């Protein structure tokens, strides 16, 4: 009998057991409570979850990019995973919060973070050509979920409006995609931004986009599916992982009258640049 070939991992440093565990198409992740300064951002995804994706799709020392960095979840997670990271964020306010968190995390990690490039740049994801960026090994990002933060009836938004310390929307900037009211225009601009990343990516690099379908005016706009279809013309859509949250209180939407789900899942779309 021929001897089995030794396991060779070209993508990451995970063991076969951890690799298989990540391949499950759905997962439950309930993040820890957010710090006060980070809670200001109305739609932040958790560093603990981001780190799992980064450690699967890259090796230590590679470069991670987030073109819509927010308060720096991707960047902090990259530091913890010993990866370089660059983020671009439209809001100067969130840029400063991200920089503070990066400084704190770097100090906390100590020597493991020495020599790692980790920075956030104030800029527009639609104008990346104006920024001198290196080649990227992986993209992990999450866009605005259309203009759903402007929906006054949303339970989470009502609670945020009662506090002067929490932002209800990202900004008033016209360049902010979260302020685009027309769904077709929003989708066109979002696809254009993600397609424009291609020159920055090394061949066979992956992109993970965390997104959610949007309910508005009594109907569902399939943002995740539309993005998968449209962006599939630039990159290869390889798969999806469904992020489930089971720590959110149920609300009686449409009770006794109509079907309205409590939607506690997001789509983590996996694309790959295959030239």
User: What's the total number of domains in the chain?
Assistant: 1
21 falls within a domain: no
25 falls within a domain: no
CB 197 within 8 A of CB 130: no
pLDDT at 34: 58
User: Does residue 154 register a pLDDT over 90?
Assistant: no
Return the ∠ at Cα 144 (arms to 184 and 223), rounded to 5°.
Answer: 45
pLDDT at 41: 43
pLDDT digits (tens, 9 = 90+) for 210-249: 999 999 888 999 999 999 999 999 999 999 999 999 988 9
**Residue range of the domain that includes 116:** 34-247+257-272
10 falls within a domain: no
pLDDT at 157: 45
168 falls within a domain: yes
Lowest mean pLDDT among 20-34, 71-85, 129-143, 151-165: 151-165
Mean pLDDT of 10-14: 96
User: Does residue 1 register a pLDDT over 80?
Assistant: no
Mean pLDDT of 22-29: 95
**How would you classify the pairing of strands 136-141 and 118-122?**
unpaired
Provide the percentage of residues in the chain whose pLDDT is more than 90: 73
CATH number for the domain spanning 120: value is 3.40.50.150
User: Does residue 54 register a pLDDT over 60?
Assistant: yes
- Give every CB contact of residue 252 below 8 A, 6+ residues apart in sequence: none
166 falls within a domain: yes
pLDDT band at 161, cuts 50/70/90? very low
| pTM exceeds 0.85 for this model | yes
252 falls within a domain: no
pLDDT at 170: 53
- The helix or strand, by DSSP H or E, that contains position 208, with its residue range, turns out to be strand 201-211
14 falls within a domain: no
Q: Look over the chain and give the mean of its residue pLDDT values, rounded to a whole number.
A: 88
Tokens representing residue 114 in the block: 């020495």
Mean pLDDT of 96-108: 94
pLDDT at 143: 94
pLDDT band at 264, cuts 50/70/90? very high
3 falls within a domain: no
Lowest mean pLDDT among 4-13, 29-38, 125-134, 155-164: 155-164
Mean pLDDT of 188-208: 97
pLDDT at 4: 64
User: Does residue 47 register a pLDDT over 80?
Assistant: yes
């Amino acid at each position: 009998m021929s001897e089995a070939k030794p396991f060779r991992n070209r993508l990451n440093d995970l063991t076969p057991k951890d690799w298989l565990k990540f391949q499950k198409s759905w997962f439950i992740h309930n993040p820890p409570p957010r710090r006060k300064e980070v809670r200001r951002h109305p739609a932040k995804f958790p560093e603990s979850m981001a780190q799992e994706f980064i450690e699967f799709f890259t090796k230590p020392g590679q470069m991670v990019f987030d073109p819509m960095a927010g308060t720096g979840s991707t960047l902090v997670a990259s530091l913890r995973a010993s990866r370089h990271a660059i983020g671009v964020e439209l809001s100067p306010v969130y840029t400063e919060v991200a920089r503070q968190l990066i400084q704190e995390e770097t100090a906390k990690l100590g020597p493991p973070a020495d020599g790692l490039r980790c920075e956030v740049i104030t800029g527009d994801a639609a104008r990346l050509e104006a920024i001198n960026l290196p080649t990227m090994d992986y993209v992990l990002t999450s866009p605005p979920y259309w203009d759903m933060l402007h929906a006054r009836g949303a339970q989470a938004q009502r609670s945020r409006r009662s506090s002067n310390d929490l932002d209800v929307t990202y900004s008033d900037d016209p360049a902010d995609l979260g302020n685009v009211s027309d769904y077709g225009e929003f989708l066109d601009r979002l696809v254009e931004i993600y397609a424009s990343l291609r020159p920055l990516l090394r061949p066979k690099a992956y992109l993970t986009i965390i997104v959610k379908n949007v309910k508005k005016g009594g109907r569902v706009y399939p943002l995740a599916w539309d993005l998968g279809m449209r962006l599939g013309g630039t990159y290869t859509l390889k798969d999806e992982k469904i992020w489930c949250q089971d720590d959110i209180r149920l609300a009686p939407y449409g009770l006794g009258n109509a079907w309205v789900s409590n939607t506690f899942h997001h789509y983590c779309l996996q694309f790959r640049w295959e030239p």
